[in-house]
Structure 1
């Protein structure tokens, strides 16, 4: 029920369809019972056992409803046989049966029709919420979790919930209603026989449920292994060049087959239990039917019995009708247990608290007026501090460059100013106000980000650039591309700005991809630019074009530049040399060359003295 409670919260927007489904299922169940009962008088006519009633019955109250209904039908049939013969009565019953079966199946379809809106809507809402939750989580979450495992939760686990839990909603509503209505009808036909039946159904249900006790645990293990499998596949496809270059196909192939072997063993156990459920429950159902047949037959043959042969045959039909809903409920129980594991994995993501959240009274910020200040900053990703006692002021309009060896904390500064992470100690101030006092969206709205890895999407050139500004016009996109030195190569593409650039922009060169990233940042037109080693992965010619584009973009903007190639930051207003998370020295290019400290050594290593 906890699983259903979690899943049914997604059904609230579609409760109207749920109510219509319940109404249709009630009507379906009523006509389902009538489709059995209507054959009782048919049997009476065929075997000349039909009770004749010559006086029209009088309705005396609800307690006498069964007798009134039987007597009314028998009175009508008696009149029909007397006036037109038994064939006319039989023809009437046949026509009535066709109508009842039509209505039964009509309401069954209508119930499924309305449920389709609820089912598809719930699946969509789960996927939408899971996606929104995933993209809202901090960057730190994705460094700890396997991407493949997240993909498994968003695809395989959602499909598992759909097939196991959501698809069970139809039976969860219809089968209990059918059971109740059929049981009421059975009690009306023979209370004594029905009470006897109640002795056997709980025993059969207990035996059937015993088969699936460990199904949830096995299903959870299967979902976890599937996440490992997808993660491994994602890593393989991403690192295919390295795998081939180091002839590591066999090593990774062995790991892959080990994962699929574990998944095979787990799923084999799950499928064995599932396979046992249906034949085992059918055998028990038949055993109960035969037992009821024996006991009911003894009641029919007993002296002064109130159970007529045609009533007993109708009773057997009703009882056989109730077996399928009972079996279906046990199947639903299996499915919900199976879907429980997937539901828990989905809710592990949905229930996560985002540590980098807006304060309750957070306000938007629209512009940088004076300066950005890093004040006594201390930060660590795990145990060891990456930044310690870091102090830096970036004034409006300045270009400040951070340089230093790998691991000195340069990129961490960029991660903190964009609030991809929050500081452990100290504070970051924008115009004297702590960055946490502003909304994340507005803080990031102030900034344009160009990273070493050009993050592009499998879409057209135009749409990749337009990501920087909602509802951007074509003229604005072209102008941004020209500033980024990208317009010329774009026009040489097969479809110009409408050319699809492939997965991660793989149809373009490194320099072309980087210039598109710059065009995207230019189109956003932010007051603050954050450039994280934007030219380090480029060849000399591409670097020249990209550097020219960067210089155009940084004009009249506050810029924080993280640089590996010192040739790109010689004109910066302030160069900050970092070492092991602390500032070693800072100043202009000329000042730092004359200081004979860390910066000069870095310059000499790059032959720029």
Structure 2
């Protein structure tokens, strides 16, 4: 039949293409926006749980503010799937997601109308209607140009949202890691934590790109195409959609397996990263024992585990896409449409151009179903990979830096009252401190001595509030350190440890580390090139804060005799008018202390001045005493005058 193209017929052609697409897209977009609004705005308790570590300093708050305790309702709502938590992360970006959906909504009629104009053009060519051919080609070009212009905003808005989510995820995770108590880092390897912050977040970022770029677009396009199909022929449309229940059942089992396997993949990767970081940070030790082959085998074993899990995931994914995308959708659905559509055409119940448009749209439908399945797969993988990330985001530290007290006048009095403490990671072992009590008056020097493992460094850990005692009180000027404001406490206390850590940067930047706003540009990694000066730089870094209490843990142990004498002379000057606690294995360096505390197995065995302790008789049972330690050191140094 020869078709005459009038102006009204061209408008009708646009109307047929646009009406179905607009109707379907309104339903899909409206439903999706409503669902997104409900999903992103409900469950305020869970949102607070996921974001309560996001304390913005710009609003005047501090990152050390006490984390709010969970209410009964929040505790009941807490058990949520990782997939739901992942979607909840998009809540603060709702407006950007809505803008992306709006761009899709505007673009959809132009994009989905293209196959319609192709089929109409071919039909007009068969009928040799040049006017209809010209009109449909013109309409096709207009729709294609508008579609390409709007595509920028779809890509940009969803990509921008994804980058904002990745940034927020990384910052929130790092912020919560900084808020954790020291016992958390005792039980977790730095390699594993770094893997969570880098690899896991990167995996989630990559998957979120699929989720927010293709999932919504695929759903909108599939809805629009389905609407067009039902508008043109409900029979063929029903046949095309009959595959959906089968795919849904397959996806149910596939998603459960994928989530579990993705979590194991990330755990294996974290294990491999942990081995690598441990070895690379201890290369001198590895080299000195010629253990390079052993460490290589250990790393190969960890990487092999990650490799096997990934290969298994790839094989299952291949079977899934072969069965669902290729066989069911490409083979079964398209052949069924051709057979049934041909039958309808032969019976005069369907026009050939309608069948042609169905086959063209079926190609698009298959493409976006594949994108949707890819998005679904990556979303499930992301939820599995993010399991540990969400666990870390929701972890509450045992020790809360919630102290608010800032003393107006600091004297420097240090007191421990009946303090007992056991490290959380070593609860099966005897306590590190057992009913320890002592007091250091302002401006005095206290020397803490004893064998290795006696609990000397633990006292410093409690004073710095790295841990909280199991019982007893640790006080500065009669105020428990847990009640003092975190930043203020560490301006009043300064520690120089046995192995001070220097950060990448210059000597000046490390000395001024406490004054972070004056740091210089980075210039190296882990203080490389500064090893010989580490101890002296650490001493300068501590003293420049002008602390009231100075903690010295073998502060001169890394220096030679000449350097030690020079630094000791400088320390004598900076120790004036400060309360000083000194841990020393070289007992000759503590003879001038106002009080000496001898620790053994977590208890104070002796307490007094150097002369008082020397005057005490040796224990009759041969137990540990100050004189015993001096005698041992004298024999080791072959110095008969050590007791003088």
TM-score normalised by the chain length of structure 2: 0.80
Residue 449 (str. 1) matches residue 495 (str. 2): yes
Which is greater in Rg?
1
Structure 2: distance between partners of 1:414 and 1:208: 56
2:514 is paired with a residue of what secondary structure? Answer: coil
Write out per-residue CA displacement over residues 119-154 of structure 1, whole angstroms, 9 at most, x where no aligned residue. 111111111111111122112111211211111111
Residue 284 (str. 1) matches residue 363 (str. 2): no
Please state how far the C-alpha of 1:581 moved relative to its aligned partner.
1.1
Please state how far the C-alpha of 1:250 moved relative to its aligned partner.
2.6
Residue 23 (str. 1) matches residue 102 (str. 2): yes
Please state how far the C-alpha of 1:37 moved relative to its aligned partner.
1.6
Write out per-residue CA displacement over residues 4-58 of structure 1, whole angstroms, 9 at most, x where no aligned residue. 4323343334333211111111223222211112234323321228xxxxxxxxx
1:354–1:367 Cα change, 3 Å: farther
| 1:229-244 → structure 2 map (5 Å cutoff) | 229-244=272-287
Structure 2: distance between partners of 1:163 and 1:254: 31
Structure 2: distance between partners of 1:220 and 1:117: 27
1:7–1:395 Cα change, 3 Å: same
Write out per-residue CA displacement over residues 503-562 of structure 1, whole angstroms, 9 at most, x where no aligned residue. 33331344x111111111112111111112212233222322332232222221111211
Contact kept in structure 2, 1:119 and 1:167, CA below 8 Å: no
Q: Could you tell me which runs of 5 or more consecutive residues in structure 2 were left unpaired when the two chains were aligned.
A: 1-79, 619-624, 635-641
Residue 39 (str. 1) matches residue 118 (str. 2): yes
Contact kept in structure 2, 1:14 and 1:117, CA below 8 Å: no
Q: Could you tell me which runs of 5 or more consecutive residues in structure 1 were left unpaired when the two chains were aligned.
A: 50-85, 474-496
RMSD over equivalenced CA pairs, Å: 2.2
Structure 1: distance between partners of 2:87 and 2:244: 29
1:117 maps to which residue?
160
Residue 556 (str. 1) matches residue 583 (str. 2): no
1:192 maps to which residue?
235
1:375 is paired with a residue of what secondary structure? Answer: strand
2:343 maps to which residue?
298
Contact kept in structure 1, 2:215 and 2:376, CA below 8 Å: no
Residue 458 (str. 1) matches residue 504 (str. 2): yes
- Of stretches 386-395 and 332-341 in structure 1, the one that deviates more from structure 2 is 332-341
Residue 12 (str. 1) matches residue 55 (str. 2): no
2:496 is paired with a residue of what secondary structure? Answer: strand
1:99–1:209 Cα change, 3 Å: farther
Contact kept in structure 1, 2:548 and 2:579, CA below 8 Å: yes
Structure 1: distance between partners of 2:144 and 2:611: 94
Contact kept in structure 2, 1:400 and 1:572, CA below 8 Å: yes
1:357–1:28 Cα change, 3 Å: same
Structure 1: distance between partners of 2:173 and 2:408: 30
Contact kept in structure 2, 1:4 and 1:165, CA below 8 Å: no
1:356 maps to which residue?
399
| 1:559-574 → structure 2 map (5 Å cutoff) | 559-574=580-595
1:509–1:108 Cα change, 3 Å: closer
Structure 1: distance between partners of 2:156 and 2:499: 49
Structure 2: distance between partners of 1:295 and 1:428: 83
The number of aligned residues is 545
Contact kept in structure 2, 1:363 and 1:437, CA below 8 Å: yes
1:308 maps to which residue?
351
Write out per-residue CA displacement over residues 291-344 of structure 1, whole angstroms, 9 at most, x where no aligned residue. 1111111112114x2x22212211222222212222222222211221122110
1:173–1:460 Cα change, 3 Å: same
| 1:88-107 → structure 2 map (5 Å cutoff) | 88-107=131-150
Please state how far the C-alpha of 1:278 moved relative to its aligned partner.
3.3
Which of 548, 554, 557 is 1:533 aligned to? 554
Structure 2: distance between partners of 1:545 and 1:509: 18
Write out per-residue CA displacement over residues 436-489 of structure 1, whole angstroms, 9 at most, x where no aligned residue. 22233332232111111121011111211111224459xxxxxxxxxxxxxxxx
Structure 2: distance between partners of 1:282 and 1:254: 41
Structure 2: distance between partners of 1:547 and 1:118: 57
Write out per-residue CA displacement over residues 321-376 of structure 1, whole angstroms, 9 at most, x where no aligned residue. 212222222222211221122110111211111011034x7433454236221001
1:506 maps to which residue?
528
Which of 397, 400, 404 is 2:446 aligned to? 400
Structure 2: distance between partners of 1:377 and 1:310: 88
Structure 1: distance between partners of 2:89 and 2:567: 48
- Of stretches 415-424 and 6-15 in structure 1, the one that deviates more from structure 2 is 6-15
1:83 maps to which residue?
none
